[in-house]
Amino acid sequence: MPSQVETASKRFTCLIRGWLSCVKLSVDAASELKKEEIGEFHIRNPLEHLRARWWRSWLKVEKR
């Protein structure tokens, strides 16, 4: 039976790894977007840009 400290540290490590992979994915996606549409890309907040782009694409799907 693992101790509570071991379990907590494993959970924390898993959480950090998940967060870092999300950050890496968003940075990769943001750099792809930057290549596609430099005029519209907001370098200061790529996550906000991705969210806005997803929202616009979702609205287009809903309108059909």
pTM: 0.35
Cβ density class 22-36: b for 16+ within 10 Å, e for less? eeeeeeeebeebeee
Query: 51 or 45: which carries more pLDDT confidence?
Result: 51
Single out the residue of 44, 43, 37 nearest to residue 56, CA to CA.
37
Asked whether the predicted pLDDT for residue 46 surpasses 70, the reply is: no
Single out the residue of 48, 56, 55 nearest to residue 29, CA to CA.
48
Q: So where are the chain's domains? A: 4-63
Q: What is the pLDDT of residues 1-25, one digit of tens each?
A: 667 777 888 888 877 777 777 667 6
